[in-house]
Amino acid sequence: MRAVIGLSALTLAAGLTACGDKSPGSGPGAQTPTVVASTDVWGSVAQAVAGDHAKVTSIINSASADPHSFEASPSNAADIADASLVVYNGGGYDHWVDDVLASHKSVAAVNAYALLKPPAGEPQPANEHVFYDLATARAVASSIADKLAQDDPQHAADYKSNAETFNRKVDAIAQTENAIRTSHPGAAVVATEPVAHYLLVAAGLTDKTPTGFAGAVEQDTDPAPVDVAAMLDLIKSRQIAAVVFNEQTITEVTKQVQAAAASAGVPVVSVTETLPDGKDYLTWQRDTADRLTAALQQNR
């Protein structure tokens, strides 16, 4: 997916004229480091690591927000420039963060996409939705702990302990993904958008979404009629076990997909790109993996 940004890098920089590279409370020994996350997904990971020792703010923090059409503001840029630590997705998902950091190189940052580790010998995947890759989430938590410890050595042990606790809980969710791989090896699914790509890979599922359909959605355009027809045929003929549905991107085409699934009795697994209300990263990922498990069990 591509975020739509209404401000150029120069405009963002102009909004920072009165801002320094660091907030007054940052630097070694500071009492309260400030962490700014691009989305509440990474903000939740940061909060789990920081505990009560840092102030964590998420720029995109609404379950109803559509990251596809997000527009950064000068105040968002100022928050990034003044942070002790910035945690963001990377991979072009939130490139407005890169725009600001390019002009404020002293700001510490954790880029989740940069921590994604593809299989040996393979290039970095093009899919930027790395928040569904649990290994990357673990790496982000550990990196946050390391960087906060540098800024706030007094609480270094707490940051490390919190990250370890978080990562153990992530490992428990990974066990659910492994269980899907064992119980439903290679089960076919389609997706209205490749948001949960890394979940499907980890679960050993086969994504049968027509290439043209997925590519059009990623480019924020409507799929060609032939690709829509191919998608609907897979569903109506029950060649797939579930439809993975991004409930934050609803179009006339995705409504057709949803209706076809309901008519054919194919389970629909809803996914999101930001946290549902009342959820943190761990409960969000756990609930999603559990819903996927339940959907696949319907077709056994």
The domain spanning residue 250 has which CATH number? 3.40.50.1980
Residue 3 counted as domain residue: no
Residue 265 counted as domain residue: yes
Over range 24-33, report the average pLDDT: 59
Residues 128 and 46 in one domain: yes
Residue 4 counted as domain residue: no
Specify whether the CB–CB gap between 166 and 48 falls below 8 A: yes
Structure tokens belonging to residue 257: 């997909």
Residues 45 and 167 in one domain: yes
Residue 2 counted as domain residue: no
Q: What is the pLDDT of residue 220?
A: 80
Q: What are the pLDDT digits (tens) for 32-88?
A: 999 999 999 999 999 999 999 999 999 999 877 767 667 789 999 999 999 999 999
Short-list 65, 181, 86, 197, CA closest to 134 = 197
CA distance 167 to 149: 17
Which is more confidently placed, 21 or 266?
Answer: 266
CA distance 163 to 180: 26
Residues 17 and 165 in one domain: yes
Residues 191 and 147 in one domain: no
11-20, 114-123, 174-183, 237-246: least confidently modelled range: 11-20
If one counts every other C-beta atom within 10 angstroms of the C-beta of residue 175, the result is: 9
Query: Total structural domains in the chain?
Result: 2
The boundaries of the domain holding residue 156 are: 9-175
Select from 175, 201, 232 the last residue of a domain: 175
SS3 (DSSP) at 221: coil
User: What's the pTM?
Assistant: 0.89
Residue 117 counted as domain residue: yes
Residues 155 and 210 in one domain: no
Select from 121, 152, 175 the last residue of a domain: 175
Note the helical H segments in 8-155.
Answer: 9-14, 40-50, 74-81, 95-101, 134-151
Task: Tell me the pLDDT of the chain averaged across its residues.
Answer: 89
Residues 158 and 203 in one domain: no
If one counts every other C-beta atom within 10 angstroms of the C-beta of residue 205, the result is: 26
Select from 175, 206, 221 the last residue of a domain: 175
Residue 1 counted as domain residue: no
